[in-house]
């Protein structure tokens, strides 16, 4: 399992919050898997495949754990990826996970959890607004066209 520095996670938080600085830093410093993680969370199948193909199994499990997959959470725990497991649990509403991360000085994972949670809610809101639904119709056509090629 790859170790991520506090700074790398902080840049990931910036990326999730749509700050170009975070995205640029992650790309320039070889953290494509973190970029793919956000896209996989947002249901991009190619991004999830990238995680699996490049053996970022903990990040793939993290993505699934966010969506309440108990088996994925078990994978994270078995692989001792406790920070990622706690982060997923925070996203799913577990306040004790937040307290545990803060207690061990891993507040950057708490920030990541809240950033991802906010992004998920923004995406959900975008999908149910009238304008969002209209845009998604065009994106679906584009997605279908891309798959056919």
Domain residue extents for the chain: 6-148
What pLDDT, in 10s, does the model give residues 40-55? Answer: 999 999 999 999 999 9
Between 6-16 and 107-128, two packed helices, what is the crossing angle to 10 degrees?
20
Q: What is the dihedral of CA 81, 40, 50, 106, to 10 degrees?
A: -30
What pLDDT, in 10s, does the model give residues 91-143? Answer: 999 999 999 999 999 999 999 999 999 999 998 865 444 444 454 455 555 54
3-state secondary structure of 71: helix
């Amino acid at each position: 399992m790859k170790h991520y520095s506090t700074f790398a996670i902080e840049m990931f938080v910036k990326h999730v919050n749509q700050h170009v600085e975070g995205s640029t830093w992650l790309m320039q410093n070889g953290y494509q898997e973190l970029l793919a993680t956000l896209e996989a969370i947002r249901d991009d199948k190619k991004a999830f495949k990238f995680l699996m193909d490049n053996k970022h199994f903990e990040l793939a499990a993290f993505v699934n754990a966010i969506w309440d997959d108990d088996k994925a959470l078990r994978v994270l725990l078995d692989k001792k990826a406790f920070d990622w497991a706690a982060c997923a649990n925070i996203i799913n509403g577990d306040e004790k996970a937040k307290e545990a991360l803060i207690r061990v000085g891993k507040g950057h994972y708490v920030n990541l959890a809240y950033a991802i949670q906010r992004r998920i809610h923004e995406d959900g809101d975008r999908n149910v607004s009238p304008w969002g639904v209209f845009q998604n119709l065009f994106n679906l056509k584009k997605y279908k066209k891309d798959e056919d090629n």
